[in-house]
């Protein structure tokens, strides 16, 4: 079997706890938070118990740090090493703070004075065996940076002047495409193992291959092809030339690491394009897979696919938690993988075999021309699904008669049913929606009790497909609107997404007020920062998109022979967007709760409790109990008997009793806490910190602050 794997010539002995392969407890007893998600196992657990269920009601802000700029959001899980906290700002600056006082020590801006845009969920820390070389590795735009942890200056010997272009070294030309990452990589010895975020729309996108970089030099040490090359395992699950043209199947959610076994784990996303797979017929390994790789070489140890031939954007959004399950009187090391579907897959850590049976069940098949849906999908028998997986008339909201009647009326023209209903020309309701279920926040795991805590969203969306080749003659502006829907809206959002504040890139609704037509033409040709190049578009396509954005070309019709554009030749059908499904007052179309926090016993495979996570203040004022909301960001569990989480659209930071699910404390932030919190101790005092960046996919107001809480003196 042909492999494209380069083994590091020298593997230096493991350094630092949780930094290069040893458990955090070996030196710091979980008193620091030196790794994204708390430790290499991704547990988001702390043995600190000074803040506990008896005194959490007294928790108050110890300090607040304002980054000084507003961007899309902050989703950063801070790390704390030797009294310093490292965070990122809304415009992707890297900042060092005094973890005790919140005072800024230094700030590094990878862009020009205006900063960048995008999402960053944290940074990776590495230090040499003698402790003299301490580095932060993080991604902004298309580049991986190595920054001196002491001074905040780039390390010039790393890559080219302190950075590596992630578009290079993919074994495929990606220069005009976007290759970045939202989640930090994991450090194993002298390697940084890194995934990527790539385009997901119908246009060309980069492959999601996983790579390891030398933390000293920036050189690529190995690569794992998530879209297999000829001769590699899984090649036959794709069309013959898929490896040359198909993108995606990327590990954008991060990694967990078992250093004693030398195994690194991740989950991968769907192949691009998300909602039509006529050009990628087959199961599509290694899309939507839990992967176990040799951390030193990148060789596949095992895989488990949770969605075959994905058409629902059901990426695996986070790495699996490394857990221990008691089975038949023995302790079994395992991985527990939350998903957007609300399925929790529990697999043997060494073999990838399910701990609880998984059934392949028949699912509805697509009727869209050219599409070939996979006939079955995997369903774990235990634990039960912790998210809603069905939408019919029975699941319609009962908030009030007016809301219910309005939704029932809309359902007359829509398709409804169980999970995995394939998208088609007629609008269909999707639950869980395209963002989950569970998203990138993942789960927290208490190793003392074997209980997993995971939040989930239960708000429905709808989708429909349309032809990329117009069915009739169009004006240039009409063709531009059509092309915008098929090419641009995947990132910038359709009109409904813009009104809801959901797009992950800036709205182009008023682009004519900030950019000239020449500027837009240049951007489409060359790309910029996270925006890829669209050089493959024809002159007619580019002219039409500009005509739509600037409200021109309403009379002149496009010649019929030009209507079959480059886009329609590549992708005959595209989605109309991820469309919210809400009642006339703006509340979700389905029954409550609309978001929950869940406790799952991994030994028995049972849900212990579910409680609504967050509420809509307007309904709260009318006397409704907590309804739950769409949520983004993960939980933190502590030995003090608490689960801390922001995530909900009520913009509050919450603390729940981990045994009962009772809400014990909450704090109203200035903006939503759509990030995973961290906890640490300095001079015997415990702190809990969360980013309040707001904005983002929940669409609430934006913020730029980090809040650290502690008990009063």
**pLDDT tens-digit profile of 538-585?**
787 788 888 888 887 666 777 666 666 656 667 899 898 899 999 999
SS3 at position 148: strand
pTM, rounded to two decimals: 0.89
Residue 605 has pLDDT above 60, yes or no: yes
- Is the peptide bond prior to 239 cis by the omega test (within 30 degrees of 0)? no
- Give 659-707 pLDDT, tens digit per residue: 999 999 999 999 999 999 999 999 999 999 999 999 989 989 999 999 9
Helix (H) or strand (E) holding 11: none
> CATH classification of 24-358+368-389+431-459+592-710, choosing from 2.140.10.10, 3.40.50.300, 1.20.1260.10, 1.10.10.10?
2.140.10.10
DSSP state of 591: P
The Cα–Cα gap between 524 and 87 comes to 32
The Cα–Cα gap between 53 and 643 comes to 10
The Cα–Cα gap between 383 and 356 comes to 8
- Which CA distances in Å does 633 have to 505, 515, 630, 676? 19, 34, 10, 5
Secondary structure (DSSP) of 102-125: --EEEEE-SS-TT---S-----EE
Residue 591 has pLDDT above 50, yes or no: yes
Dihedral sign for Cα atoms in the order 696, 700, 702, 703: negative
Q: Give pLDDT, residue 535.
A: 66
The Cα–Cα gap between 390 and 282 comes to 26
The Cα–Cα gap between 404 and 73 comes to 33
Query: In which region does residue 379 sit, left (phi positive, over 0), alpha (psi from -120 to 50) or beta (all else)?
Result: beta
- Mean pLDDT score across all residues of the chain: 89
The neighbour count for residue 426, using CB atoms within 10 Å, is 11
- Give 447-479 pLDDT, tens digit per residue: 999 999 999 999 999 999 988 877 677 787 877
Range from 173-177, 467-471, 588-592 that averages highest in pLDDT: 588-592
Name the phi and psi angles at 675, rounded to 5.
Answer: -155, 165
Residue 405 has pLDDT above 80, yes or no: yes
Nearest residue to 361 via CA among 375, 372, 342, 376:
376
Name the phi and psi angles at 660, rounded to 5.
Answer: -115, -20
Question: So what's the architecture of 469-570 in CATH?
Answer: Orthogonal Bundle (1.10)
Residue 54 has pLDDT above 60, yes or no: yes
Task: For the chain, give every domain's residue range.
Answer: 24-358+368-389+431-459+592-710, 469-570
Name the phi and psi angles at 567, rounded to 5.
Answer: -60, -45
SS3 at position 590: strand
């Amino acid at each position: 079997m042909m492999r494209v794997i380069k083994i590091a010539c020298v593997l230096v002995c493991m350094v630092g706890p949780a930094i290069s392969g040893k458990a955090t407890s070996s030196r710091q007893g979980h008193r620091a938070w030196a790794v994204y998600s708390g430790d290499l196992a991704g547990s988001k657990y702390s043995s600190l118990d000074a803040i506990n269920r008896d005194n959490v009601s007294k928790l108050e802000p110890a300090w607040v740090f304002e980054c000084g700029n507003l961007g899309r959001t902050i989703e950063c899980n801070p790390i704390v090493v030797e009294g310093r906290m490292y965070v990122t700002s809304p415009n992707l600056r890297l900042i060092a703070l005094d973890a005790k006082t919140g005072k800024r020590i230094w700030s590094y801006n990878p862009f020009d004075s205006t900063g960048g845009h995008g999402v960053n969920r944290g940074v990776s820390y590495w230090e040499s065996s003698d402790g003299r070389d301490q580095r932060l590795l993080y991604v902004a735009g298309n580049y991986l940076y190595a920054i001196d942890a002491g001074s905040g200056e780039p390390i010039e010997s790393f890559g080219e002047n302190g950075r590596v272009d992630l578009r290079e070294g993919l074994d495929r030309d990606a220069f005009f495409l976007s290759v970045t990452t939202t989640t930090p990589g994991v450090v194993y010895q002298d390697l940084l193992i890194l995934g990527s975020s790539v385009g997901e729309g119908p246009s060309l996108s980069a492959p999601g291959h996983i790579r390891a970089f030398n933390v000293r030099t920036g050189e690529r040490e190995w690569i794992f092809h998530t879209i297999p090359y000829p001769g590699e395992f899984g090649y036959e699950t794709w069309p013959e030339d898929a490896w040359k043209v198909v993108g995606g199947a990327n590990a954008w959610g991060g990694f967990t690491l078992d250093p004693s076994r030398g195994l690194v784990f991740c989950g991968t996303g769907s192949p691009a394009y998300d909602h039509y797979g006529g050009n990628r017929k087959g199961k599509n390994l290694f899309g939507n897979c839990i992967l176990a790789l040799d951390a030193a070489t990148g060789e596949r140890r095992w895989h488990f696919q949770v969605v075959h031939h994905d058409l629902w954007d059901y990426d695996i959004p986070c790495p699996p938690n490394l857990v221990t399950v008691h089975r038949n009187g023995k302790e079994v090391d395992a991985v527990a993988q939350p998903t957007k579907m609300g399925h929790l897959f529990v697999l043997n850590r060494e073999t990838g075999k399910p701990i609880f049976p998984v059934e392949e069940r028949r699912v509805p098949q697509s009727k869209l021309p050219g599409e070939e849906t996979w006939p079955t999908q995997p369903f774990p028998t235990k634990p039960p699904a912790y998210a809603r997986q069905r939408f019919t008339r029975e699941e319609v909201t009962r908030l009030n008669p007016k809301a219910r009647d309005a939704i029932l009326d809309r359902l007359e023209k829509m398709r409804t049913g169980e999970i995995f209903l394939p998208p088609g020309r007629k609008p269909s309701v999707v639950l869980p929606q395209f963002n989950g279920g569970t998203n990138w926040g993942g789960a927290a795991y208490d190793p003392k009790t074997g209980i997993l805590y995971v939040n989930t969203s239960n708000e429905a969306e709808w989708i429909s497909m349309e032809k990329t080749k117009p069915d009739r003659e169009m004006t240039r502006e009409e063709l531009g609107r059509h092309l915008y829907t098929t090419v641009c809206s995947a990132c910038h959002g359709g009109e409904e997404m813009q009104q809801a504040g959901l797009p992950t890139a800036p709205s182009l609704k008023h682009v004519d007020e900030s950019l000239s037509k020449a500027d837009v033409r240049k951007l489409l040709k060359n790309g910029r920062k996270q925006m890829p190049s669209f050089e493959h578009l024809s002159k007619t396509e580019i002219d039409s998109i500009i005509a739509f954005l600037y409200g021109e070309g309403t009379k002149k019709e496009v010649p019929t022979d030009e209507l079959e554009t480059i886009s329609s030749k590549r992708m005959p059908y595209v989605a109309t967007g991820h469309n919210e499904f809400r009642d006339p007052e703006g509340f979700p179309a389905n029954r409550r709760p609309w978001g929950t926090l869940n406790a799952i016993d991994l030994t028995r495979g049972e849900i212990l409790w579910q409680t609504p996570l967050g509420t809509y203040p307007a309904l709260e004022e009318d006397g409704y109990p907590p309804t739950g909301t769409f949520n983004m960001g993960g939980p933190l569990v502590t030995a003090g008997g608490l689960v801390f989480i922001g995530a909900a659209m009520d913009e509050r930071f919450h603390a729940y009793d981990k045994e009962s699910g009772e809400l014990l404390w909450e704090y109203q932030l200035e903006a939503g806490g759509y990030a995973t919190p961290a906890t640490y101790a300095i001079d015997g005092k415990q702190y809990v910190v969360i980013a309040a960046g707001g904005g983002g996919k929940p669409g609430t107001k934006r913020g730029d602050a980090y809040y650290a809480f502690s008990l009063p003196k």
